[in-house]
Every structure is written in structure tokens, then in C-alpha cells.
Amino acid sequence: MSALALILVNRGHIVSGSDTRENTTVERLRAQGVRVFRDQSAANIDAICCNVDLLPLVVISTAIPKSNPELKAAKLSQLKILHRSDLLAALIQAQPSIAVAGSHGKTTTSTLLTTLLATTDQDPTAVIGGVVPYYDSNGHAGKGRLLVAEADESDGSLVKFQATLGVITNLELDHTDHYANLDELINTMKRFGRGCRRLLANFDCPILKEHFDATAWWSVKTSAGVDFAALPICLNGDQTIADIYEQGQRMGQITLPMPGLHNLSNAMAAIAACRLEGLSFEDVQQGLADLQPPGRRFDFRGTWEGRQIVDDYAHHPSEVSATLAMARLIVNSGRSQLPNPPKRIFAVFQPHRFSRTSEFLYDFARALGEADAVLLAPVYSAGENPIQGATSENLAKAIRSQHPSLPVAVAENLDQLTLLVQKHSLKGDLVLAMGAGNINNLWRQLTRLDNAKRCPPSLAA
């Protein structure tokens, strides 16, 4: 929503909105001329409708409930109300566009793609779900030919997008609050693919390979039978070196300043999209040095009492597994972009949504087994009602069942979680906080920790 507001105000529209929390995003919007109300009340609608020649258009996200006082007032005033996806769809259709979809990696892929286009003087417009380090923002109103948009599948609204080029990073069941099964998700993503003029997809994803007919494919496992490939030569904790192939022909070598095979795949998708849009390989190759992941993707927050604190958005078992694999690569290789190579992985995980926890309880237990110690926060509900058995306590039991020697503990709340981190993590640890909820506040809580607080319970094995 903030990215859309930023783009519209930079294109000359009068934009208002509301947010009950003050943060850097709100401050940036105000600095750009967006009127931001501190509360959400019917009076806000009256204020923006006062003394105007043209009634405002109201844009809402899926997160806005029908009981929201602003929404109710907008309906009473008979204002036109659009979902955010309708507005994004209009922007996508207004110019040549690349829409990046997929179960995992779409924010990173769209960030890397935006950065490559920006560093090659394309100046794209960007609507991304995370902060793009190159712009220090999740939105940018570019003057160039292309628009890059992250296409979120969580509510199915991406079927409205008719992009010049669609990109699908991978596909597996998620968002079980919206999709009853994998077939529903596949059908939704197929509708998205059919709406795009061209489709670029990941050959390494078995579901995509079986169910989709893409215009072009990429891989990080093979150069045979694919249009684009990045075959790794060296994987370590601070960079990835790979050979790039197009139509089976070696184009050259790249050095990606990011670790992890999943990041190589994300980067290959971005490179392939650039090539399909006519950029030279040499230009793209030179832009790779500026690549950085988006905010909350293995995001180093600081060093606290000898522990390096990293924040990551991973909230699906596959994402947790990929993030921990990258952390293990950092530990084992002794090479890292962190200030010091860590010695151990202390995973702090906050399950996100009861529905996801219930569906993937044992998958989460398997993935978290890659850590050296695990600390669980209570489930972040994201507005859902509790589901029987979908608890962090039951996840801890599943972890202990699959990994009997792994130290595991459960915190009653985030305050106790902070105390448990203090007591049971060690100097030299990589404290890896994962989740899509408010677990990203761990760094702030650690820096404010009062050592006089009560002693936390022991970490049970």
C-alpha cells in the first residue's frame, strides 16, 4: 500500500491515508506530500471529501475488515472503493511490466531485478513487498520504460495482473487460509500465467515443470533443455560464483555477492528477465556487484553481547530450510558478510498463522532440525482464530521427536523470549530470528534488555 501511495503522489496525484503507527515508511510518505492520519476514523473520510471538486477513490487491502470505520464511512459516502490489486493491475497495464510471482523468493527476485534495471540506467518503476536497498524504499516512481511488481498469491488477486512478462519462482502449497488444496493454488497461478504476454518459470520446481507451459525456463541445476542456467562453481558464506548459460551456450561467469543456492536461483530469474527485455549480458554482469537482498531477508541487525543478530522473513518450512541452509554454509565455510564468522546457529522462530502451523507442523519440525538450538515464540495469529493443536508447544514436541538431541524451548511471550535468548545463546552465535510477525522486534528488545528481570526457565533438551 505504501509503495502504491509513493508512486501515485510522485505522479502528481493527491494522496491521503492512515496508519496508527509511526515508522520510517510513514515519515517518507509525509515528506513526499502524502497526508497521513494518525488514527482510523470516519472523520478522516469527511476531511478528505471536504472542499474538493472530484470525490476521492478509496483503495483498501485484504487486511482491512468490513468493520473498519473509514471503510464504513466511505461506503456511506458512496465513494468508489478498489482493492489494492485493482490499482496495481492498472499500473501494470499502463506500461511494459514484469510481474514476479511464486510461493518463495518473489520479494528477493523482484528486488534483484529492480536493482539490475536501475544500475543499467533503466530507471524502472517498482512496487515491491520489501525494502529495495538501492532505493531504500519498497516503491519507486521511475521514468524508464519498465515497471516491476511483486505479484502476491496469498489472496488470489494476482489473476488481475496482465504483465508483459510474468515470472514464477516456484510453487508449493501455502496460504491454506485461502486455498483448500494445492490444485486451487496451481489453477490460480495458471490464470496469472495465461494473463501475461510471456511467462518465465523455474525449471527446477517440479510442480511448475509438470503443470505449466512457459515461454522460457531457467535452472541452477542443468543447462540442458532450458533457456537460461546458472551452474554454481563455488558456494560459500559470502558469495556465489557460477557459469551462466543461454540456450546451452556459456555466456560467461558471474560473482554474486550473496550466499545460498536459492539466492542464485532468484538472481538467475532476474538476469533472465533482463535478457528477455533486451539488456545485454555485459551490462547485466556489471550490475551484479550492486545486488543486495531486500529488508528482512537475512538482515543483519547488529552485535549484542558477542551474538550476531539476524532477522529473516522465513515463515514457510521451505523458506526456513533455505535460510538455515545458508546459515549453515556461513558457519561451515568460515566466510561471511557478517562482521565475524559465527560458530553456531541459535534459531528463534515465530510460527505465523494457526492455519499454516497446523498444516505444516511436522515440516517445520524437520526444517528447524538444521539449527544447533531452537527457541520458539508463541504463534503469531495474523488475525486468525486458534486451531486445536496448532501451538508452539506442539511444534516443540514434534522437533524433539524428530531431533531428540536438539535443545528446544518455548517462550510464553516475547519478553520471556528475549530473556531466553540472553540466557541460552552463546558468544559467537548467529541468533537467527525467523518469522513474518513481530519477531523482527527481537533486536530492539535485546538492546533494551533489563538484566534485573527474573531468571528464565531452563532450556530443555
Rounded Cα gap, residues 81 and 270, in angstroms: 34
- What confidence score (pLDDT) does residue 461 get? 42
Q: Which of 299, 276, 281 is closest to 196 using CA atoms? A: 276
**Secondary structure percentages of the chain, helix, strand, coil, to 5:** 35, 20, 40
* Threshold 0.75, pTM exceeds: yes
Q: What's the grid cell of residue 47?
A: 476531511
All structural domains of the chain: 2-79 (3.40.50.720), 86-290 (3.40.1190.10), 299-447 (3.90.190.20)
70, 109, 115, 150: the catalytic one is: 150
107, 114, 120, 125: the catalytic one is: 107
Measured in residues, the chain has a length of 461
Angstrom distances, CA of residue 387 to CA of 273, 379, 384: 41, 11, 9
Per the annotation, the verdict on 106 as an active-site residue is: yes
375 three-class SS: strand
Q: Average pLDDT of each block of 10 consecutive residues along the chain (461 residues)?
A: 96 95 92 95 95 93 93 96 97 98 97 98 97 95 98 96 98 95 97 98 98 98 98 96 98 97 98 98 94 94 96 97 97 94 97 98 98 98 95 98 98 96 96 97 86 50 42
- What confidence score (pLDDT) does residue 280 get? 97
- What confidence score (pLDDT) does residue 459 get? 54
**Is residue 274 a contact partner of residue 250, using CB atoms and an 8 Å limit?**
no
